[in-house]
Amino acid sequence: FCQRSRMGGCGDDKEDEEDDEVVAVGLYRLLEEAKGFSKPEISGFRVGAVAVGESGTSYLGGNVEFRHQGLEHVIHAEEFAITNAINHGERSISHLAVSMAPCGYCRQIISELAEASQLSIWISPSKKPTDIDALLPSAFSPKDLGGRGRLLSEQAHELELVEVPEEAWRPLADVALERANRSYAPYTRSPSGVALMLSCGKIVGGGYAENCAFNPSISPLKAAIVAVLSSQQRLEDVEKLVLVEMRNSSVSHESSISSFSRSLFPRAQVLILQCEQRSAALE
């Protein structure tokens, strides 16, 4: 779910304080709506988050937990909202509001964002924003691994499928390939994407988003799940899944996605496709 919003401008100190209060009130009102996306099947604890993109659109997210699954599959509220913004093509986030202070995992994700140092972070009920340098001092950052670019920066990997699938699978394969081409994988150079088809015929997708600390990386399946839930659809309605990933890559999602999807989408058909860069295909 996303919606257009307007955030405050600039002025003298008093005006800035007033602007801060106006922004806080608007964001915190949206937090209550964001909690509606929360599915805390294990903890029973609802968290909401709102990410405001450079377009002025607000992207909502809630924490999502999966009963009888490992906690590594949990989607944090901030992770949901940020991924929602990525799925809609945003190139930066100007404001991030959360109903609780971000955990360390989410602070690491935030630090990976393009223009992260300029991001205003609002922790309810404070009327003053903070920033990632205050929340995560002395951070391990992309520059420590020689990373180029940042999460949300434009990506274009020039990938193509090694083999074209049957006609019935091509619409999903096209979406998964497009998401792989837009995915963020500077550390392993293993871009990947997932497409899901729902019983209504709707197709949604998600791309891989790496983190310099590795563990907070967002899998392409997580990103696709966010696309389903943010469009207010049901996971149990997923009927087909396509994963597109690099041939002979150092990181593969095939095993983990196949295992998790069997439990999450028991009726779904799964297809794994390989891709390669166009320059490699011509050799």
**Residue 234 identity (one-letter amino acid):** R
Ramachandran angles phi, psi of 193, nearest 5°: -150, 155
Question: Residue 278: CA atoms inside 13 Å, Cβ hemisphere, count?
Answer: 7
pLDDT band with cut points at 50, 70 and 90 for residue 9: very low
Which pLDDT score is estimated for 82? 98
Q: Work out the mean pLDDT of the chain and round it to a whole number.
A: 92
pLDDT in tens, 45-66: 999 999 999 999 999 999 999 9
Torsion region of 189: left, alpha or beta (phi above 0 gives left; psi -120 to 50 gives alpha):
left
Any idea which residues carry the catalytic annotation?
Answer: 78
Quote the pTM value.
Answer: 0.92
